[in-house]
Amino acid sequence: MEAFRIHKAGPLTTVQDAGRDALRRFGVPISGAMDQFAYRAGNELVENPSGTAALEITLNGLTLEAITTVEIAITGADLEPSVDGQPAPQWETFELRAGQVLRFARRVRGCRAYLTVRGGIDAPVFLGSRSTFVKGRMGAPVATGDILALAAPMSALGRTHIWPRERRRPIPDEFTIRVTAGPQQDFFTPAGLMTFYNSEYRIHPNSDRQGIRTEGPAIEIATGPGIISDPTPLGSIQVPGDGRPIILHRDGQSTGGYAKIARVIAPDLDWFAQMTPGDSVRFSLVSRVDALRLT
């Protein structure tokens, strides 16, 4: 069933789901929604099964029209959504009637919002997932003029669902990211490790779904920075020759040849989805026991 007509696609709108598990050994990134918390919350609100595909909306600009009446929810960043010029609800379900226009006007806080619809977004399935992985040619960004359909028949919700405020994760002005020690600690000098854990870094404009680059004090490297390529798990923090950390995210490669100073714990990886160039980030070391407890 056709659901949406895209009037304006915005800078980057893609179909994403929970991602491609267990394929990194074949060189395939996990992909999927960058902010898994917001994505999962949206699917729960519209009573979709876990892993149902949604729209990941980056910054402002997306404008779409409902072709048929649908039940939707908007979670994640506040991109000032409106329906026919009136503010749209966020973190709750509501009905978008046929002919109504939903627009994301500007970034208020955060970077990526999620539009979930009861029945899910239809998109080609690549290796068991509808997630768009542009560099791997698995799907493509949503384009102006596209028609998006539902993946499954939609039935009425019956009542409105609201995600409790106490369960939301307010996007902070500054981010403190918890990490565990990386496997190549001995590639960095003691001074380099001190720099990493005691400095403020800024998000570099040349960041994307593959890697979040940073600007800030250079980390002193004792050996390398190159290593024999080895696995780079989701959330790995590599340090290239310029000494500035790079955080590998959902479209990150499965192996790499730079020393890894740390790895972001799973709940905090979502925060990078909501950072924009210039945002401040610091890193805080936690034990592996605490990391497992917090996950």
Q: What is the pLDDT of residues 17-41, one digit of tens each?
A: 999 988 998 999 999 999 999 999 9
Cα angle: 44, vertex 248, 212; to 5 degrees: 90
Claim to verify: residue 183 and residue 157 sit in the same structural domain: no
Q: Which residues pair with 74 in a beta bridge?
A: 115
As for how many domains the chain has, the answer is 2
Claim to verify: residue 273 and residue 205 sit in the same structural domain: yes
> Which pLDDT tens digit goes with each residue over 145-193?
999 999 998 777 777 899 999 999 999 999 999 999 999 999 999 999 9
Residue that finishes a domain, picked among 150, 167, 184? 167
pLDDT of residue 45: 97
Which residues span the domain enclosing 187?
Answer: 174-294
Claim to verify: residue 163 and residue 181 sit in the same structural domain: no
pLDDT of residue 87: 98
Claim to verify: residue 136 and residue 214 sit in the same structural domain: no
Claim to verify: residue 159 and residue 274 sit in the same structural domain: no
Residue that finishes a domain, picked among 167, 189, 210? 167
Residue 134 or residue 292, greater confidence = 134
Claim to verify: residue 123 and residue 231 sit in the same structural domain: no
Residue 126: which of 135, 138, 137 has the closest Cα?
138
Claim to verify: residue 15 and residue 154 sit in the same structural domain: yes
Residue that finishes a domain, picked among 139, 167, 195? 167
* Class of residue 215 by CB neighbours under 10 A (exposed 0-12, middle 13-18, buried 19+): middle
Claim to verify: residue 156 and residue 20 sit in the same structural domain: yes
CATH classification of the domain holding 281: 2.40.100.10
Predicted TM-score of the model (pTM): 0.95
Claim to verify: residue 59 and residue 146 sit in the same structural domain: yes
Claim to verify: residue 77 and residue 178 sit in the same structural domain: no
Claim to verify: residue 158 and residue 189 sit in the same structural domain: no
Claim to verify: residue 99 and residue 213 sit in the same structural domain: no
